[in-house]
Structure 1
Amino acid sequence: MPFALPNATSVTANPTQAELREWVLEFMPRVTETEFGNLNYQARILARLTPSTFFVSDAPTGKQVMARDEAEQWAAKQDAYVAEQDMVLMEGYIGPDPAFRTGTRLFMEKSNSNVPAMQQQLYFPRDEDWTPEFTVIYTPGLRVPEHHEECLILVDLDNYVTRVMGSDYFGESKMGGLRMWNKLVYDRGGLAMHSGAKTFPAESTADGAERLALIIGLSGTGKTTTTFRNVKGSLPVQDDFIALMPGGTVHTTENGCFAKSFGLDPDDEPTIYGGATRPDAWLESVAVDPETGKVDFFDDSYTANGRVTFPLENIRHRDPRDLPKAHYLFILNRNENLIPAVAKLKPEQAAYYFMLGETKGTSAGGAHEAGKNLRVPGTNPFWFEEESSMGNRFLELLETCELEVYLFNTGRVGGPDDDERSKKVRIPHSAAVQEAIVDGTIEWEEDPDFGYLVASSLPGIDDDELLQPRKLYERQGRMDEYRALVERLATERAEYLAKFTSLDQSIVKAG
């Protein structure tokens, strides 16, 4: 039986975007109509709240847990709060495939109608066969002083219910469903991946076959930019989460895009910019002049984690149904020293770098991640148990499909932003890498320190130091620093992977 929603003062089911806009303007403070005719809400909470998130369990799971008895007490408090509220019920599907779609619903305070409005753009629409499997109950007005930022997120995988209290950040609605979807996909023999997806049309490839690329990376590493960047006529399919199944079959999840807005530029990211500047887009915590409605995507004085949603139908994209099997996997790493613009990974190395999930954190992961060197297995911070199972499943799936796996650096080589000796790997560089991969025009050689393949020649990039960072350190007389970094990385990576006691040892030894 579907989970029974708590009683409320009133419930409006599946309102239109126009109705939701009207309620946002009527009930919500800190809302501004922008120069583009869309609405921006300045949220109190500016990112997802890992310290406030608990899985409901009476046994260790490898994650932060709350005993069921205590969780039920908080659930009762939320139900009592809901009983006195006007609520919005938004229903739809995660995924478009009738054989692999999940009925999902968001039960949200009407006084925060921007969240169901944004979520409606991401759900695939319900039909007469729709039944609820996942439920997200979301009450921003119910503050929880006992927990971090007065917020509490409870994830009950036994009943597929997520409860959000206190936060008004839209990402908790989106991830409320997708976090639960991680387990559902795993139970079906696949792997949910924090991944974008794009296709290269048949006429653009060397063998005349449409090719599907998966792009994984932590929030803020350039996943959405890489997915939506037009390379050789490529078409975005999916912004954020996919399921990789045995044999390379891929299922998508969302009917819209949830993109970071900071630094959004019409020249570098014309597709996302076009979607974000339409009247029907929804903005959250973007810098907007309250008097003129002027939007400044480069102003991070409030936050660098401004967000926007818009429907995929508003931009050029590839229909998510009947996709070819996955052919490429791009692992993004916003590094600032030794990672080249691209490296080609041997099969045994792919699971190793997948499990490392290295990057430099941004505000998208919250203040506790911004600016820090991170390792998040699979670049998926929403996994439901200790991550060994994710790495082992990825290795199993690699053996069933033919994936070319590449490591991309979307950051710098030679040092951080404030080091004048360093060089930035720019968006056109990453686009040139994609084009050369599809064309098969990269000349490779083995890196003597890391064992993966690095480019000795790549059309579109004439700077060898971006392709082989060792050369930059050699030219600048910094080889002692380089060797120390190599040694430190090897030690830290070994220590990190040793924590995963159930991880297949062939992954641990691949470095």
Structure 2
Amino acid sequence: MNPQILTHEPGLLRHMAFVYDNLSAPRLIELALARNEGHLTASGALHVLTGKYTGRSPKDKYIVDEPGVTNSINWGPVNRPVSEAHFERLYSKALQYMNGRDAFVFDGFAGADRRRQLKFRVVTEMAWHNLFMRQLLIRPTADNPFTGQPDFTILALPGLQADPAADGTSSETFIIISLERKVVLIGGTMYAGEMKKSVFSILNCILPMKGMFPMHCSANIGEAGDVALFFGLSGTGKTTLSADPGRRLIGDDEHVWSDEGIYNIEGGCYAKCIGLSADKEPQIWNAIKHGTVLENVAVDPVTRIADYNDNRYTENTRAAYPLDHIPNAFTGGTAGHPNTIVFLTADAFGVLPPVAKLTKPQAIYHFLSGYTSKLAGTERGVTKPEATFSACFGAPFLPLHPSVYANLLSEKISRHNVDIYLINTGWIGGPYGVGKRINLPYTRAMVTAALDGSLKNASYSKDPVFGLHIPDSVPGVPSDVLNPVNTWNDKSGYMEQARKLASLFIENFQKNTPDVAEEVAAAGPVLL
């Protein structure tokens, strides 16, 4: 085999000691074990630790400032520019680093719609990283082979560190996307999620220019063909709530809405599994078996039994598995236009209602706001929930201005008459540290009522601060849970926290999205 044919980047693999080309999952697992990269658990999953970095490192992510994209990118603290010269310097260092080392190569697709698939070549120095991407991208088949050159190449070298003074980075870690060279360079971190999210970032740049709407959401489909989308940041419940035994899972994290309907970007799931239990989340529990990569979970060294309640390494424990590990997964990854959209948030203030129906202006307001509480471990340095606003429920992955994605959503909602709900999976009865997380079975009942039409014509009461329409009753949920003020013993404390959060909403919106339609600007909270 001539390693030069493995990439559109000339010479990338020329000097490798050995190139492992598109191996099967069992073979990658064998090599990962032989190279002491991980261990098998009692369930058969490959257990790995990612060391210093157990979450994404957003301050170390860059986009190369190139002539063809410089006027399109929404530059700032999320999309940090790096010069072409610095990229070339790091790329040369990567070639030197790879000299004499083994490489693992996987060729896969992003996008279940075969008419719109992008081809990604993933080159890694670790076998388990290759397995991770093999499980999460869409794997080639006999009737859909990977042919020709890739559209993008990802080069993941955790052992390669940057020199900030010389390489233009903030630290030894770097995640750099070159949209013109069509290369992603990753170094200084073993956290595999950086590869996955680099793919998503690329699609978020390319697809809107073609009139398609990339979305940070999970999706499932009912027996009648009704499609539901679940938007939300990591840890808010996208994977958990879309893995519904009564519905078929399309995908758990990233989708595209085209003129024909929606399609999954990925071929696998990346489930957060802190506190995972067989009774509450049976589908995810049973998916953790041979072929699954289990990241940073505490495992008994003798029995090899995983302890999902142990957060010794991080709160951001993860399981990466192919979609077919879910028994009722929706094969093919494409479906029709959504009937229902759910915005998920985990409110650490404890004041947002567990469920509310949104008008279209409210939907655009909350989409542009993207409020949640950033949960511990999802990003480097986050040790407890922090209130945060992430535009479009995915700002770290959006190279273009948030208004581009909001306009796409607005057009889709109007064209397809979609019902939109806000569901809070966070705290009730008090803020974080005082109140408690909303009972998961209650949340599931609210989601079911939203999807089966029970809430479409229900009676509602209007929240005085946030203007949200709260249902007066939901099957299977105690009525006093629905209005958050009823769950607080200290009513004045509730109003204080509500005003505090409302102020943060208003400040964020005025700062980051000042130029919106008047009806959208008026759809936010008011200070009483």
**Please, what TM-score do these two structures have when normalized by structure 1?**
0.91
Kindly indicate whether the alpha-carbon contact (under 8 Å) linking 2:250 and 2:333 is maintained by their aligned counterparts in 1: no
Kindly indicate whether the alpha-carbon contact (under 8 Å) linking 1:20 and 1:113 is maintained by their aligned counterparts in 2: yes
CA distance, structure 2, for counterparts of residue 83 and residue 503 of structure 1:
51
CA distance, structure 2, for counterparts of residue 168 and residue 472 of structure 1:
42
CA distance, structure 1, for counterparts of residue 223 and residue 10 of structure 2:
45
Query: Which among 9, 12, 33 is matched to residue 6 of structure 1?
Result: 12
CA distance, structure 2, for counterparts of residue 90 and residue 498 of structure 1:
45
Query: Which among 390, 406, 415 is matched to residue 400 of structure 1?
Result: 415
CA distance, structure 1, for counterparts of residue 332 and residue 268 of structure 2:
11
Residue 133 of structure 1 pairs with residue 151 of structure 2: yes
CA distance, structure 1, for counterparts of residue 377 and residue 238 of structure 2:
12
Deviation at 1:502, TM superposition (A): 6.7
Query: Which among 325, 339, 359 is matched to residue 327 of structure 1?
Result: 339
CA distance, structure 2, for counterparts of residue 508 and residue 82 of structure 1:
52
CA distance, structure 2, for counterparts of residue 416 and residue 510 of structure 1:
24
Alignment of 1:149-160 (within 5 A): 150-160=172-182
Residue 24 of structure 1 pairs with residue 24 of structure 2: no
Matched residue type, 2:400: E
Deviation at 1:293, TM superposition (A): 1.1
CA distance, structure 2, for counterparts of residue 211 and residue 287 of structure 1:
39
Residue 370 of structure 2 corresponds to: 357
Equivalent position SS for 1:124: coil
Residue 473 of structure 2 corresponds to: 457
Kindly indicate whether the alpha-carbon contact (under 8 Å) linking 1:212 and 1:327 is maintained by their aligned counterparts in 2: yes
Residue 123 of structure 2 corresponds to: 107
Provide the alpha-carbon RMSD of the alignment. 2.1
Alignment of 1:4-153 (within 5 A): 4=10, 6-7=12-13, 8-9=15-16, 10-29=18-37, 31-44=38-51, 45-57=53-65, 59=70, 61-62=75-76, 63-109=79-125, 112-126=126-140, 127-128=144-145, 130-131=147-148, 132-146=150-164, 147=169, 150-153=172-175
Matched residue type, 1:100: R
CA distance, structure 2, for counterparts of residue 5 and residue 415 of structure 1:
59
Residue 342 of structure 1 pairs with residue 355 of structure 2: yes
User: CA 1:148 to 1:22, structure 2 compared with 1: closer, same or farther past 3 Å?
Assistant: farther
Residue 302 of structure 1 corresponds to: 313
User: CA 1:5 to 1:489, structure 2 compared with 1: closer, same or farther past 3 Å?
Assistant: farther
Deviations, residues 375-433 of structure 1 (Å, cap 9, x unaligned): 101111211134333333322333322211110110112323531xx343121011111
Deviation at 1:192, TM superposition (A): 1.2
CA distance, structure 2, for counterparts of residue 155 and residue 424 of structure 1:
37
Deviations, residues 355-387 of structure 1 (Å, cap 9, x unaligned): 111111113431334421111011112111343
User: CA 1:469 to 1:125, structure 2 compared with 1: closer, same or farther past 3 Å?
Assistant: same
Equivalent position SS for 1:490: helix
Alignment of 1:216-231 (within 5 A): 216-230=231-245
CA distance, structure 1, for counterparts of residue 273 and residue 316 of structure 2:
7
Equivalent position SS for 1:169: coil
Deviation at 1:159, TM superposition (A): 3.0
Equivalent position SS for 1:164: strand
Count of residue correspondences? 491
Residue 438 of structure 1 pairs with residue 456 of structure 2: no
Gaps of 5+ in 2: 1-6
User: CA 1:487 to 1:151, structure 2 compared with 1: closer, same or farther past 3 Å?
Assistant: same
Deviations, residues 99-141 of structure 1 (Å, cap 9, x unaligned): 12111110111xx110111111122222445341121111111
Equivalent position SS for 1:435: helix
User: CA 1:404 to 1:305, structure 2 compared with 1: closer, same or farther past 3 Å?
Assistant: same
Deviates more, 1:432-441 or 1:73-82: 432-441
CA distance, structure 2, for counterparts of residue 433 and residue 81 of structure 1:
52
Deviation at 1:345, TM superposition (A): 0.2
Matched residue type, 2:410: L
CA distance, structure 1, for counterparts of residue 55 and residue 437 of structure 2:
26
Equivalent position SS for 2:415: coil
Deviation at 1:145, TM superposition (A): 4.9
Matched residue type, 1:345: L
Kindly indicate whether the alpha-carbon contact (under 8 Å) linking 1:32 and 1:288 is maintained by their aligned counterparts in 2: no
Residue 4 of structure 2 corresponds to: none
Matched residue type, 1:166: G
Equivalent position SS for 1:194: strand
Deviation at 1:458, TM superposition (A): 0.9
Aligned-residue sequence identity (percent) comes to: 27
Equivalent position SS for 2:303: coil
Deviations, residues 212-237 of structure 1 (Å, cap 9, x unaligned): 0011111111111011132xx21111
Residue 206 of structure 1 corresponds to: none
Query: Which among 318, 328, 331 is matched to residue 330 of structure 2?
Result: 318
CA distance, structure 2, for counterparts of residue 95 and residue 118 of structure 1:
17
Gaps of 5+ in 1: 203-209
Equivalent position SS for 1:125: coil
Deviations, residues 462-488 of structure 1 (Å, cap 9, x unaligned): 142x21112334xx3423x33333333
Residue 376 of structure 1 pairs with residue 390 of structure 2: yes
Residue 250 of structure 1 pairs with residue 262 of structure 2: yes
Equivalent position SS for 2:422: strand
Deviates more, 1:257-266 or 1:285-294: 285-294
Deviation at 1:324, TM superposition (A): 2.1
**Please, what TM-score do these two structures have when normalized by structure 2?**
0.88
Kindly indicate whether the alpha-carbon contact (under 8 Å) linking 2:221 and 2:247 is maintained by their aligned counterparts in 1: yes
Equivalent position SS for 1:153: strand
Residue 3 of structure 2 corresponds to: none
Residue 205 of structure 1 corresponds to: none
Matched residue type, 1:387: P
Residue 402 of structure 2 corresponds to: 387
